[in-house]
Structure 1
Amino acid sequence: MNSLKISKHKYLIFFILLLFNLTTLTSLNVVAAEPDPSTIPPNIIVKNINVNADGTVTIKGLVSDNLTIPESIKMKLVYLDANQLENDLGSITPDSTGLWSINTTFTENFNKYFIIATDGDSNEEKIPVPTPPTIIVKDIKKNADGTTTINGEVSDNLTTAENIEMKLVYLDADRHENDLGQITPDSNGSWSITRTFPDKLNRYFLVATDKSSIENEEPNNTTIFVQRPYVTSIKVTVLNYRHKIIENGISKDRDETMEMDLIYKNEMTRVVLDPTIAIDFSDGVPANINNLIYLFDKSGMVDSVTPTKSNNQLMLNFHNLKPSTTYYLMFNPSLISEKYKDNSGIFVDDNGNAFFPVIKKFTTVSETVKSTAIDETMAEIPNQPHGFYSNNVSTCSNCHSTHNGDSPSLDTPKSDYMDKAKENSYCMACHDGTLAAPMPENLDTNNGDIKSKHDAIDTPEHSSSAGSCITCHNPHITWSEDNPTLLKDHFVYTKDNGSKIDSLEVNCDTCHKDNAVSEVPDYHDNSVREVLSYKKDTTADGQSGNYSLCLRCHNGVKASDIKQYYEDQNGVIESGHSIIAINGSKLRGNIPCSVCHETHASTNLKLLKSTLGHENQDSEAFSFTTGNWDENNERVFCMKCHNGKTSIYGVKALDPLQSPGHSLMEKCSDCHGGESNSFLEAAHAPQIDPTKTHSLTQTESPSPTQ
């Protein structure tokens, strides 16, 4: 009985032990599946990446390991070369919390670089260096309904385009960022915005963020302005006139001056000799100004001055400039470096956005005007009929001879001026640098013909020879801020029957003969005084009135009919050379004549420029001095701008050779010369062939994270 009980007890104990062992074995099997902690590699996290204004890149992140303290983890940056060999670029030292940072220059694509971390057990983790998204603005177009369409692309080396989050942001006057909505790129990275922009485009910017980094404390993103910053004004003091005043019974000379904006004035004259030039920008100027503003005359650079900065403005104080001298004010002379590979000549804001380049021309006041005062007894000084551009009535004798004149206007005999055109000799008597600014591109020191190949047309006032000054300028009118170069003015009379008489087309004595002034119908009250206009670069808005000086002759009657390409019965015609400027200029229409032609002279036929474009000019000058205008000259000339890099007004045209259906054997005017297939039309109003894939693009620029 007892033995039976003992036997049952043993079986019970055996059964309990068996259950315990099965449970234990199961538990041990789970533990055995876990890896050895000493074999786990470090974990590398990239928290933020930013491209700095100086071109360096800062990458911040975190590293951790389950057994190794962070400061004992060895980290390094490596570069993978063409042979797939790793090149050690230096160590990275994390702090006690695992935070690390790199600041370096990446000379190759980011996907060639890797970050490696190794713990104390020689476990290694290797990750590619991530990049922020790259945003490119490809095209900005103004639509007929007033909206603006902006197209572009976004890309990233690790994130597919549809996983990049984009938005448009507006920066208000208080520098607050206002979110204007999401932008959705397609699978290829293309994106588009169409909306009304009530403020300037440089107040808006685009933000692109890797969606995978959005939860990070510092997300991996890129910000660029929709439009590069630009100059908004260049203010300088000019002398209007000097006159005599009586102050406390004492006669004194007093200068009447005014402040002018060179941005919206063509070739301003009478600038004072010690000017303070204030340059205003659409965006903040750099905290550290590394690139100076340059001032040149024909002899070279004038002693540079260090500008003083105040918000969005630079102030330059020049002293002792030479009288009657033409100067060029220039900054950001990046006309030959497409990608801005070095920092020479680049002017950027604090975010690294490159300003559009500007070169402005002005002439200082002459010694005669500066030092000669008009008598205070002269009535209505600003309205003197023969002007006071020289403030010296004896200057009349430069052109007129009281006793020896050989014409009704007492012109000095032509024999006094060798074989040179009389009117030009009159002008060059002063415009050789003695009394007025010289014109070195025209002046022949041997007193030969003006070097212009532009044959001026005979006018009713004078019989003009080639390149005559008085074809475009009137020496008898008064200097004014709106007409500092004395371009021709004229009266347009409207008769009772609605017909008009232009004093440039009909001489005064046509009606005013034999003292018959009283017999002339009284329509003079309906007259309007106009100045022939010639706008350039930043001053032109693209309307045909900007170029009335040129179109007065180029109307198909006196010279080739260019006017037809600038206006029709409905206004300005549609043209492939009609541009919306994005560099701060006012241009919203046809490009000015001065984009392609030199005003006074050129070594090329047709007064064509040797270098074309405002930015990224072709390094090889255009030359066409003799011969016929054939298809080769046509192609070479067009491709000085149509080369995929040169830009005007911030806009560049793509290289046609990169577009389907083009070749070097083609003649541009065959497709773009309209019905006439003429280069005259192809150059002045090219028609866009819908079978071609041309498009206009905004010029690329460095950005805060590109």
Structure 2
Amino acid sequence: MSKIRLGVSTLFMLILLSIFSAVAFAEDHVPTSTNPAPGINVGDVDNFGNQSTHRTHGNFQNNTNSCANCHSTHNGENEMLLMKSGEYELCMSCHDGTMGFYDVTKSSGAGTFDDSHLSSSMHNVDSDLLVKTAPGAFKNTSTALLECSSCHNPHGSPNDRLLKEVVVGSTNFASTLVNGVTTPVPVGNKTISLDLQDDPAYAAINALTGTGGLKITKSNGPKGSTTYGGQNDKIYYSQFCGACHDDYFAKRNAGTTTNPVPGKPSTGTAITPAHTHDTYTHTTNSSSQGRSCAACHYAHGTDATIMMDAVGNTVADYTKSVADGGKGWTQEKAEAYMKDVSARGSSLKKFTNTAVCFACHGTSISTTIDPQYLGADGRLKGRSKIK
């Protein structure tokens, strides 16, 4: 009996050691051209016989091994042979930080899916929400669930960050009115090109892959240059968002005598045509600074730790010591300051409360702004963060 107990104990210890070894491997993994991150195994030689790491999503080579990172030929856990039981579970098996890069629970150009802090709001892709319930969904009647693949194509896309060409909801209406002009919702067109820069934190991986393979990049948002037949990347970005939030993208037209504001419930009371009016909004149909959805909102989500105030400071800035240019606040004090108290919540905003309004318009409505908060252009420093 003692031998059996010893055997069981030994086996248990071996299991523990293997678990700790796996954790250590994930933390101390040295990237190689065929194994850039734990659990990710890709080809090493491209179709031209040159060394170049394949991408996990799309741009597959004829000798690809990328399929096996997500699908199991004989033991899939759903009808798509995914290695996890659902889409969210599969995506998060890498993008929760396990893969080492593109951790969607941490701050990035797209925001964060971390809901552990104050003022958290996000596109909740694990909630069984229907796309048609999006705020500002007017013509959009899609019955599809909001998932990662609502915006991203896991098998590749000509758009940066695997953003889809045909957005969920965009097939429900052919066009929308923008500044009085009928504008087609982009279906099957290159929608968005982002300003992507190599991430210096992953120089080791980027150096392995040459010019044709995996590159870990940081996004500064939609590019500002005019491209694609005279259109602009910022405009296409807003059209992308407007495929679901179509009422926020469309021009407000004059209402009727019983429904003065199009898209809103009827008042039930007849009024004279003289009182019929338009409503107004910040247009997103422009390449100007601050005129795309991405200027004010994160695509994934936000919380108090990554939001900014009107001078562009974050919680991290205020918790720095005075010697390092901060205020020396505690984390608790800084988060309380940055907390969004808006009635409708933080709404994926990059700026807390309505600080984005003050960042742009502060100097035109206030004459008592401390000069230390102004940039070289005489405007509040936060305005430079509104792309």
After TM superposition, the score normalised by the length of structure 2 is 0.41
The structure whose residues are more often helix, as a share, is 2
Point out which structure has higher relative CO (alpha carbons under 8 A, 6+ apart). 2
TM-score normalised to structure 1 length: 0.25
Q: Which has the larger strand fraction?
A: 1
Query: If you compute each CA radius of gyration, which structure gives the higher value, 1 or 2?
Result: 1
